[in-house]
Structure 1
Amino acid sequence: MDRAEWVERGTSIVDRLTTTQTQPPWWLVAGAGVVALVLVGYTPLWRFTRNIVTIAHEGGHALVALLTGRRLNSIRLHSDTSGLTVSSGKPYGLGMILTTMAGYPAPPLLGLGFAALLGASRITLMLWTAIALLAGVLIMTRNVYGMLTVFAVGATVFAVSWFGTDTLQAGFAYLGAWFLLLAGARPVLELQRGRSRQLRSRYQQDVASDADQLARLTHLPGLLWVGLFGVVAVGSLLVGAGLLISDISGVCLPSPSGGTCT
């Protein structure tokens, strides 16, 4: 691809960012949802795909830390799909509470935002929003595994948005939105299982989960925070799923008034 072709492709991307794209057929949206469900529900695959959730989780901590006036120091992502975001500021107060609280809701809320863009036929804008967010995370990532992981995900999204056909872009975008929506609840369940095992252990130590840190910061039970994370995940899934299927073409749902499809 020569320079003129790159410029032409770049101009095309800019145009597509400001315009709407054709809604994909129902089978593509449904198929993307099924594939996302497998990526979340099948444990051997989940061990790898959970890295994407960790990126969104730590990105949520990082974004809220900045928004609340804290100094963001670093993001680290590990091969066991755990992560750590370090920020400087008061170790108590509203800013610390919001920063700690932001991790688990971030993936489903991001999925909900992507679903809203897709429901508005903004497929290209959704993909480039993802690229911009990944670039922000990459800049603050401070370990090799984390940088490679974020770069690989970002490069994949870029390649699809730049070289992919309209159908491929739509399928990939819907897969990403479905995945984040469906993946929001599983880490919350894993969080509570881990807390339960720790509490039953003979050698109990201070639990370092987000929920237990919030319990220490707010003097509210950790289980309450786990429940809040779960409500956000399920609520985002229900609303997001409605947005993803609301305007797809090729599907005729019967209306209560008995109207016919057009």
Structure 2
Amino acid sequence: MESTANASPADLWDRLFGTQAAPEQWLVIAAGVVALAVVVPHGVWRVARNAITIAHEGGHGLIALLTGRRLDGIRLHSDTSGLTVSRGKPTGIGMILTAAAGYTAPPLLGLGGAALLSSGRITAFLWIATALLIAMLVMIRNAYGALTVVVAGGAFLVVSWLAPTDVQAAFAYAVVWFLLLGGVRPAFELQSKRRHGGAGDSDADQLSRLTHVPAGMWLFLFHAVSLCSLMGGGRWLLDV
């Protein structure tokens, strides 16, 4: 198949805004199995979780900007933690939405990606993801974070620009499955940490202080968003 690198501008425009044929069902299922094999084993997850952290902190940053806050920068750390710093009113709806965006961003991104893939817009998904990573790179404020985003963005760029259509499809479906499946695990990890007295300054605890709603209710919201996104996105990907 012809790669994007060999296409004319008209072909590129058509591939970005047009639709591509859906891959075989076995490839969709295989992509899900690969994603599950990355999310479940602890050793592999410790590395792969960096990608979820990118989406998590990117969610904080995007909502901060959309709610009128000033985004000072984003840091990603080698222990897969992250920090997004924004300035503005320390209370109110803008701060609440910004704090709530972290744990909900990966599964919602996966749900949005599933919607694009189910409508045949594989190339559009890859290019949108690349653009978001490039935009995020501008706000990264530490070397490890920059390296992580460059590696992720480079992978999307190479696949979207050079890979044949079937490879693009396999990569896109694996990424979306990973966001959906990987978006579920962090809320359970946070729940475990809080049960053992840790994570006292987690997003759920910050939201509790902002809204006077118990942190456990916010944790329930994180679970609900991630599990509903997985069920809805999975149905779209499997076309059932």
Aligned residue number for residue 201 of structure 2: 208
Q: Give 1:13 shift.
A: 2.6
Return the letter of the residue paired with 2:84: T
Q: Is the 8 A contact 1:109 1:236 kept in 2?
A: yes
Q: Hey, what does 2:144 align to over in structure 1?
A: 145
Secondary structure class of the residue paired with 1:103: helix
Pairwise CA distance, 1:136: 1.3
The residue aligned with 2:96 is 97
Match runs of 1:149-160 below 5 Å: 149-160=148-159
- Aligned residue for 1:41? 40
TM-score between both structures, scaled by the size of structure 2: 0.95
Residue 170 of structure 1 is matched in structure 2 by: 169
Unpaired runs of 5+ residues, structure 1, are 200-205, 248-262
- Partners of 2:172 and 2:214 in 1: CA distance: 38
User: Aligned equivalents of 2:151 and 2:179: distance in 1?
Assistant: 17
Identity %: 56
Partner of 2:111: 112
Q: Output one character per residue of 1:160-187: Cα deviation in whole Å (capped at 9) or x when no partner.
A: 1111111100000000100000011100
* Bigger-Rg structure (1/2): 1
Q: What letter is aligned with 2:60? A: H
Secondary structure of 1:21's match? coil
Is the Cα contact below 8 Å between 1:9 and 1:162 reproduced in 2? no
The answer (yes or no) to whether the contact 1:104–1:184 under 8 Å persists in 2 is yes
Deviation of the 1:155 alpha carbon: 0.3
Q: Does 1:227 align with 2:226?
A: no
Cα shift at 1:144: 0.3
2:234 to 212, 221, 241: 241
Which consecutive unaligned segments of at least 5 residues does structure 2 have? none
CA deviation profile, 1:9-46 (whole Å, cap 9, x unmatched): 55533220111101100110000000000110011110
Report the Cα distance in structure 1 between the residues aligned to 2:82 and 2:53, rounded to whole angstroms.
6
The total of aligned residue pairs comes to: 237
Q: Deviations over 1:19-77 (max 9, x none)?
A: 11011001100000000001100111101110000000000000110111100000000
Amino acid paired to 1:85: T
The answer to whether the Cα contact below 8 Å between 1:77 and 1:145 also exists between their aligned partners in 2 is yes
TM-score, length basis structure 1: 0.88
